[in-house]
Chains A and B, each alone.
Chain A
Amino acid sequence: MTYEFLQQYWWFLVSLLGALLVFLMFVQGANSLVWSLGATETERRLIVNSTGRKWEFTFTTLVTFGGAFFASFPLFYSTSFGGAYWLWMLILLSFVLQAVSYEFQNKLGNLLGARTFQLMLIINGFMGPLLLGGAVATFFEGSNFIVEKDKITDMASPVISQWANASHGLDALLNPWVLVLGVAVFFLARILGILYVINNVNDENIRSRTSGSLVWATICFLLLFVTYLVHLLLKDGYAYNADGLILVEPNKYLNNFLSMWYLLVVLLVGVILVLYGIIKEIVKGKSSNRKSIWPVGIGVVLTVLALLLCAGWNHTAYYPSTADLQSSLTIANSCSSEFTLRTMAIVSLLIPFVLAYIIVAWRKIDKKKLDKDEIVNDEAY
């Protein structure tokens, strides 16, 4: 394993975690619809309990995504988290609200009331996908930072990564393209959430309310996603040469997809699976087999994976700096040492084992679909 291979490998793993995270945001998508899909308190509890059996996966994937980024690309961790302070803090706060809301909302003695905790889930349902989608968009749109490693020896100002403006990440939300992708991810999370609820909850009343929401979320998502994809393929990107010098390259991402044709195939297969699953569910309606979440989910993972790999592979700067071209982060200039990447690569061999027990546990818990009887007579939030 060469150093370059390890860099590519770890970018793949981080991208895979990112892609799985977007899929797992079905939890946020469904939570954002708690009050519209659930007409009665029991129906709302059904939705909350349905996502409540999976929220830990989303949360853990987010934490592991952060940890893996820290271990493999510490300069990104240092620059983005320390620089885009407010963007990340808002994301984290929304996830803190989510973490307690399941357990607390229907317990005796919860001082704030069940509706407050439902509201917290809904806030996370809106903010989580929107802001995480926006954060992903900065991989293509860039951020306003400067990196100067020599500053470590500067007694007066030893911090190597600095944000070039005072907004500390909120400026990203002023970029319309960041918002386009952020809102697209929000609607994608809603599509996934609706399909998950259809699959996981055995309640015809809730199901009857999903079709309208699914159509609207699909229309909004497709408009925004196609717009962003066209913009991405036509925009300039940052490339780096053998000496590590960063250069602007016209149509960089289009070139990446053409030179890495296999990623284009993955992207197209992903998009087709997403469209197939959604259209099947809309057309068949109540007579569908309720399993559209799986083709759509796999499609989402493949699509996001292809996009993230396109952002970092093929000598592309995955975190472009709009303040200083040469400060842009690439998988070569921001990664850990060869020793650490190799050590962590050995640890990553455990991932299939982890995935295997997740699948076993998931299947056992979901064997019987959630219904009102279980909410009333069994363990439930």
Chain B
Amino acid sequence: MQEILSTIDTGTIEWSRAQFALTAIYHWLFVPLTLGLAVIMGIMETCYYRTKNVFWRDVTKFWQKLFGINFAMGVATGIILEFEFGTNWSNYSWFVGDIFGAPLAIEGIVAFFMESTFVAVMFFGWKKVSAGFHLAATWLTGLGATISAWWILVANAWMQNPVGCEFNPDTMRNEMVSFADVALSPFAVDKFCHTVISAWIIGAVFTVAVSGWYLMKRREIPLAKASMKIGAIVGIVAAMGAAITGHHSAYSVAQVQPMKLAAMEALYNGGTDQSLTGIALINPFEQPDYANQEEPELKIAVPYALSFLATNDLHGYVPGINDIIKGGYTNADGEVEPSLEEKIERGQLAINALAAYRQAKKDGADEATLTSYLSTLSSNMKYFGYGYIRSVDQVVPFIPINFYAFRMMVGMGCLLILFFAVILFFVYRKDIARAPKWLYLSALAMILLSYIASECGWLVAEFGRQPWTIQDMLPTWVSVSHLQSSSVMITFFIFLALFTTLLAVELSILVKQIKKGPEYEAQV
């Protein structure tokens, strides 16, 4: 990369990536709890609305307090994320802004206003609006957050699978040609379902863990029992839903991002009848020698499972990293996949044809010359982004992060199904208020583990996409803003210090609020 970029500081690229990753990781600490608690609060308030039992109102208010503390941090970190597309990825913002800007604008108009309007009613409107209006406000707050997730995930899915657009050589950017293809792409639908359902798990784990802590301390027992029941039901439904949608997501990845799947699996050499690696030994700190190694050491695998995951066929063909580099296999579109070398060559042809077209137009060249350049550009446009690549190694994501993050996410997901099943067993078959202490402690531990699983999901999604900001279209080093690395480094550390401090404050407030417990207006 260094040899081709003479005016962009490579530090700017790395610090910009680090800053975006930092903001996204922090943002994703707060958003899933917001989405998950919104569902749980909604169910509790619906119980209040239907039964008129003030106990449910007190329970709802308690969880709303915790929701509010967390919500503020989600909002604070979210604003930075949106504007970072412009501040740190300005070239990206122009090159695909015609498509990418639309979901962000719709998110603001449709989702954020709904969220911000009704969240105020939810917190401060208990004595100011009717019970029905308040219930609607609580659900609409959650709906607003979920619609917001929809549009931001549409935007993210488009980066992974750019559809519904065409390149315009006269404006030098990609332009939207089908809104439906962008907004309703199967990749976006899978991503939304998997991400939002996994967020419900976080809300459920949090509810169960806090309730478990109360039961362990022998206090707030009615609230804890009621909350644990709702949390565990939401949790097990969501955990099983996440497994199903996870399979769909993996299938989508296999179709449009085979290199990501190969990195997730550390699949160096693919083929038919591929097994899914359960565990293997890979040095977590360096890229493995995939070109010369047959497969990772100490590999334990489930036969045929990867073929099924990637193709819905036990005997399906799954390309490995070396297969993708060499090409020559039949891809998901039924075409023979070119080698990476050929893609790079064709990408350079596209970029050179574009430059020649622009120059010829300035020089007033005749129509035939312009058409000839456009024809070359059009036939190679699919590989435009590869024109910026100088070596095939640049196209292989960092395997250890993808490999381990994927395993941690899936492993925790399975553990969560088991966890919620055990909780429900105690809720329905035993007395959850008298469950063994280890169950309550394991619920507390599950908070950390579920967050790790959730963040791992994002690590797989984003590290697996490297080096692309937009798959096959634009690598990170062409997407960045023209800034000094020192500027981005300073803002990185400002955000790191600020978000870490605020996270510490939030955790401290949450703990105090939980220790303080609910305020009952009802007799319990």
Q: Which residues of B contact A63 (CB under 8 A)?
A: 78-79, 82, 108, 112
> Taking the complex as formed, is B71 at the interface, i.e. its CB lies under 8 A from any CB of chain A?
yes
> Taking the complex as formed, is B129 at the interface, i.e. its CB lies under 8 A from any CB of chain A?
yes
B468 shortest CB reach to chain A, Å: 15
CB nearest to A159 among chain B residues: B482
> Taking the complex as formed, is B93 at the interface, i.e. its CB lies under 8 A from any CB of chain A?
yes
Complex Cα spacing A68 to B101, Å: 7
Could you mark each residue 104-137 of chain B with 1 if its beta carbon is under 8 Å from any beta carbon of chain A, else 0? 1111111011111111110111111100010001
The answer to whether B79 touches A92 (Cβ under 8 A) is yes
The answer to whether B505 touches A110 (Cβ under 8 A) is yes
The answer to whether B90 touches A153 (Cβ under 8 A) is no
Assuming the A-B contacts A72-B101, A347-B106, are A81 and B93 also in contact, with contact meaning beta carbons closer than 8 angstroms in the complex? yes
Complex Cα spacing A358 to B118, Å: 9
Task: Give chain B interface residues in 47-96, CB to chain A under 8 Å.
Answer: 61, 68-69, 71-73, 75-80, 82-83, 85-91, 93-95
Could you mark each residue 289-331 of chain B with 1 if its beta carbon is under 8 Å from any beta carbon of chain A, else 0? 0000000000000000000000000000000000000000000
> Taking the complex as formed, is B99 at the interface, i.e. its CB lies under 8 A from any CB of chain A?
yes
> Taking the complex as formed, is B372 at the interface, i.e. its CB lies under 8 A from any CB of chain A?
no
The answer to whether B80 touches A96 (Cβ under 8 A) is yes
The answer to whether B478 touches A158 (Cβ under 8 A) is yes
B148 shortest CB reach to chain A, Å: 10
> Taking the complex as formed, is B279 at the interface, i.e. its CB lies under 8 A from any CB of chain A?
no
Q: Which residues of B contact A115 (CB under 8 A)?
A: none
> Taking the complex as formed, is B336 at the interface, i.e. its CB lies under 8 A from any CB of chain A?
no
A16 shortest CB reach to chain B, Å: 12
> Taking the complex as formed, is A280 at the interface, i.e. its CB lies under 8 A from any CB of chain B?
no
Could you mark each residue 57-88 of chain A with 1 if its beta carbon is under 8 Å from any beta carbon of chain B, else 0? 10110111011101110110111111101101
B349 shortest CB reach to chain A, Å: 12
Assuming the A-B contacts A82-B483, A109-B509, A364-B125, are A161 and B105 also in contact, with contact meaning beta carbons closer than 8 angstroms in the complex? no
Complex Cα spacing A274 to B445, Å: 58
> Of A77, A85, A86, A339, which one neighbours B97 at CB under 8 angstroms?
A77
Could you mark each residue 494-515 of chain B with 1 if its beta carbon is under 8 Å from any beta carbon of chain A, else 0? 1000100110111011111100
> Taking the complex as formed, is B414 at the interface, i.e. its CB lies under 8 A from any CB of chain A?
no
> Taking the complex as formed, is B391 at the interface, i.e. its CB lies under 8 A from any CB of chain A?
no
The answer to whether A77 touches B86 (Cβ under 8 A) is yes
> Taking the complex as formed, is B98 at the interface, i.e. its CB lies under 8 A from any CB of chain A?
yes
Q: How many residues of A contact B (CB 8 A)?
A: 80
Q: Which residues of B contact A104 (CB under 8 A)?
A: 69, 72, 502, 505-506, 509
Q: Which residues of B contact A85 (CB under 8 A)?
A: 87, 481, 483, 487, 491
The answer to whether A155 touches B388 (Cβ under 8 A) is yes
> Taking the complex as formed, is B253 at the interface, i.e. its CB lies under 8 A from any CB of chain A?
no
Prevailing SS type, chain B contact patch = helix
The answer to whether B75 touches A156 (Cβ under 8 A) is no
Task: Give chain A interface residues in 256-272, CB to chain B under 8 Å.
Answer: none
Interface residues on B, range: 35 or more
Q: Which residues of A contact B89 (CB under 8 A)?
A: 82
Task: Give chain A interface residues in 11-32, CB to chain B under 8 Å.
Answer: none
Complex Cα spacing A142 to B94, Å: 20
Complex Cα spacing A153 to B5, Å: 12
Complex Cα spacing A344 to B97, Å: 13
> Taking the complex as formed, is A354 at the interface, i.e. its CB lies under 8 A from any CB of chain B?
yes
Complex Cα spacing A89 to B510, Å: 29
The answer to whether A70 touches B117 (Cβ under 8 A) is no
The answer to whether B91 touches A159 (Cβ under 8 A) is yes
> Of A54, A70, A149, which one neighbours B93 at CB under 8 angstroms?
A70
Q: Identify which of B169-177, B404-412, B421-429, B431-439 touches chain A.
A: B169-177
Complex Cα spacing A357 to B115, Å: 11
Q: Which of B97, B124, B388, B502 has the most C-beta atoms of chain A within 10 angstroms of its own C-beta?
A: B97
Q: Which residues of A contact B8 (CB under 8 A)?
A: 157-159
Complex Cα spacing A344 to B72, Å: 29
CB nearest to A358 among chain B residues: B117
Q: Which residues of B contact A86 (CB under 8 A)?
A: 487
> Of B5, B97, B498, B516, which one neighbours A78 at CB under 8 angstroms?
B97
> Taking the complex as formed, is A286 at the interface, i.e. its CB lies under 8 A from any CB of chain B?
no
Q: Which residues of A contact B90 (CB under 8 A)?
A: 77-79, 81-83, 159, 161
> Taking the complex as formed, is A1 at the interface, i.e. its CB lies under 8 A from any CB of chain B?
no
> Taking the complex as formed, is B4 at the interface, i.e. its CB lies under 8 A from any CB of chain A?
yes
CB nearest to B88 among chain A residues: A82
B217 shortest CB reach to chain A, Å: 18
Task: Give chain A interface residues in 95-110, CB to chain B under 8 Å.
Answer: 95-96, 99-100, 102-104, 107-110
Q: Identify which of B199-207, B237-245, B351-359 touches chain A.
A: B351-359
The answer to whether B79 touches A347 (Cβ under 8 A) is no
> Taking the complex as formed, is A337 at the interface, i.e. its CB lies under 8 A from any CB of chain B?
yes
Q: Identify which of A162-170, A184-192, A210-218 touches chain B.
A: A162-170
> Taking the complex as formed, is A219 at the interface, i.e. its CB lies under 8 A from any CB of chain B?
no
The answer to whether A157 touches B6 (Cβ under 8 A) is yes
The answer to whether B94 touches A160 (Cβ under 8 A) is yes
> Taking the complex as formed, is A343 at the interface, i.e. its CB lies under 8 A from any CB of chain B?
yes
The answer to whether B109 touches A82 (Cβ under 8 A) is no
> Taking the complex as formed, is B149 at the interface, i.e. its CB lies under 8 A from any CB of chain A?
no
CB nearest to B384 among chain A residues: A152
The answer to whether A337 touches B72 (Cβ under 8 A) is no
> Of B5, B98, B102, B511, which one neighbours A157 at CB under 8 angstroms?
B5
CB nearest to A364 among chain B residues: B129
Q: Which residues of B contact A230 (CB under 8 A)?
A: none
> Of B7, B101, B116, B125, which one neighbours A59 at CB under 8 angstroms?
B116
> Taking the complex as formed, is B179 at the interface, i.e. its CB lies under 8 A from any CB of chain A?
yes
A371 shortest CB reach to chain B, Å: 13
> Of A149, A336, A379, which one neighbours B98 at CB under 8 angstroms?
A336
> Of B80, B110, B126, which one neighbours A350 at CB under 8 angstroms?
B110
The answer to whether A337 touches B168 (Cβ under 8 A) is yes
Complex Cα spacing A339 to B181, Å: 13
Q: Which residues of A contact B388 (CB under 8 A)?
A: 155, 158
The answer to whether B509 touches A365 (Cβ under 8 A) is no
Complex Cα spacing A104 to B482, Å: 37
B405 shortest CB reach to chain A, Å: 28
Could you mark each residue 131-169 of chain A with 1 if its beta carbon is under 8 Å from any beta carbon of chain B, else 0? 000000000000000000110110111111111001010
Q: Which residues of B contact A99 (CB under 8 A)?
A: 72-73, 75-76, 79
Q: Which residues of B contact A108 (CB under 8 A)?
A: 509, 512-513, 516
> Taking the complex as formed, is B484 at the interface, i.e. its CB lies under 8 A from any CB of chain A?
yes
The answer to whether B121 touches A364 (Cβ under 8 A) is yes
Complex Cα spacing A343 to B109, Å: 14
* 4 A-B pairs closest in CB distance: A82-B90, A74-B97, A81-B86, A64-B108
> Can you list 8 A-B pairs with a CB-CB distance of less than 8 A?
A80-B86, A103-B68, A109-B510, A155-B351, A159-B91, A161-B481, A347-B106, A365-B125
Residues of B within 8 A of A (CB): 4-8, 61, 68-69, 71-73, 75-80, 82-83, 85-91, 93-95, 97-102, 104-110, 112-121, 123-129, 133, 137, 168, 171-173, 175-177, 179, 351-352, 354-355, 358, 388, 478, 480-484, 487, 491, 494, 498, 501-502, 504-506, 508-513, 516
User: With A60-B116, A63-B78, A152-B95 given, can you name 5 additional A-B contacts, CB distance below 8 Å?
Assistant: A63-B82, A64-B112, A150-B355, A152-B91, A161-B481
